[in-house]
Amino acid sequence: MMNLIRKYNTAAPRYTSYPTVPYWDESTFSLQEWKTLLKKSFQATNDKDGISIYIHLPFCEKLCTYCGCNKHITINHGVEVPYIQALLKEWQLYVAAFEGTPRIREIHLGGGTPTFFSAANLTMLLEGIYRDAILLPDASLGFEGHPNNTTPEHLQTLFNLGFRRVSLGIQDFDIRVQEIINRVQPFETVATVVEHARRIGFTAINFDLIYGLPLQTTCGMQDTVDKVMQLRPDRISFYSYAHVPWIKGVGQRRYSEADLPKDEEKRRLYELGKLLFAKSGYAEIGMDHFALPDDELFIAAEKGELHRNFMGYTVTHTALLVGLGASSIGDNGYAYVQNEKQVSAYQELVSKGEFPIVRGHILNEEDQLLKGHIRDLMCTFETSWRKADTQCDAVIEGLQRLQELERDGLVEVMPEKVVVTANGRPFIRNICMAFDARLWRKLPQSQLFSQAI
């Protein structure tokens, strides 16, 4: 296995979309066509499935040096209200473009640090969204919370607004690791937040853990997982640390590659975590996720109903995902768009009554086919081209690229489908790459992605 890890540990996308953002064809994108497709998608899917909304809240009081998200570091909480006002103005642009009342199936508050915002200001934001929409009774609402500033008031307020999922960024409980990544949060602090969330009535608690962080050891990982198991979250996201200082800048230059676990060490950290999760009753779901048998993510995976979009794995299947806020990405099923990343520039565009979109991609027929195949591989570890409308030349080219992976026992290629083997699951990003026609036609001149393993 270690030989395969060395062989396939190359830069690879995480495939929350296809095409991936670096390979969007901006030359064929037009804002007017996107608006037409947005309305088309809304009219076709709103009554049946509703829509999803991702809201990016980028502010953080401190820089966590491992973080690859778009964030704005400040201790000035005076930024909250102006930013929320911009979010609600952007939402109004969407409501006007829909020409109908949106039915909300899913909301996710991401960051940054959503709990940077006061409970009162989060109420202002969400009530402003709800005012022009119908919140479906079975809507799935979740938010990301920082254990150090997620208060009982935050939890009670969001629960009252319909939220039942909270994702806590744990990363690691080893104090040496916490200090070097500038995210010190004692176990007792996390335990208090979890206790409050459960007492209030939250039914889905997720922990984000990261392997491959600087100074991590197998002993430290064992201790971290032991502490996690004392709190027993419903699901665990176990991500590989992406060390890309040439993209993310000064934060990730606080330490060097010498502080990071090497390939074999990093893989041992993952295998140890995976083993300990399994011993505690967690099942592996898709890529990087583990869940208890009564969690909705596990149930969806068992039924073959797991879905993946820009928010990651989800149980909802809305074709229309609206991205609100600086750097947010939207998907209307026919096209992708991304907002301006800088907060001030984002707010200025919205204040002018303009969609704050700075880039986009219109999916062609081949994109749609490959998007489906890659999504199926990421969610169910297999894909089929049995139907004529799932076939194209790019699929044939992808199958040719899978030949070496098949020889290595990572996939089984059949006449009308490909199945990822148990040994192949850790290499799912490499397997999806075989079908990434846009990547192969325009290989990057520099490293755009984190390592696959």
pLDDT for 246: 45
The dihedrals phi and psi of 322, each to the nearest 5 degrees, come to -95, 125
Asked if residue 208 belongs to a known ligand binding site, the reply is yes
CATH of domain 16-323: 3.80.30.20
Asked if residue 111 belongs to a known ligand binding site, the reply is yes
Asked if residue 242 belongs to a known ligand binding site, the reply is yes
The model's pTM: 0.92
Asked if residue 144 belongs to a known ligand binding site, the reply is yes
Cα distances from 389 to residues 77, 321, 379, 445, in angstroms, run 52, 24, 20, 33
Asked if residue 67 belongs to a known ligand binding site, the reply is yes
pLDDT for 310: 87
pLDDT digits 0-9 by tens, 99-147: 999 999 999 999 999 999 999 999 999 999 999 999 999 999 999 999 9
3-class secondary-structure state, position 191: helix
Asked if residue 171 belongs to a known ligand binding site, the reply is yes
CA gap 274, 280 in Å, rounded: 10
Domains 16-323 and 365-438 share a fold: no
CA gap 58, 346 in Å, rounded: 12
pLDDT digits 0-9 by tens, 151-209: 999 999 999 999 999 999 999 999 999 999 999 999 999 999 999 999 999 999 999 99
Asked if residue 397 belongs to a known ligand binding site, the reply is no
pLDDT for 450: 57
User: Which residue positions in the chain have pLDDT lower than 70?
Assistant: 1-2, 243-254, 443-453
Asked if residue 113 belongs to a known ligand binding site, the reply is yes
Asked if residue 54 belongs to a known ligand binding site, the reply is yes
Domain ranges across the chain:
16-323, 365-438
Indicate the pairing of strand 283-285 with strand 235-240: unpaired
Asked if residue 68 belongs to a known ligand binding site, the reply is yes
- CATH 1.20.1430.10, domain 365-438, yes or no: no
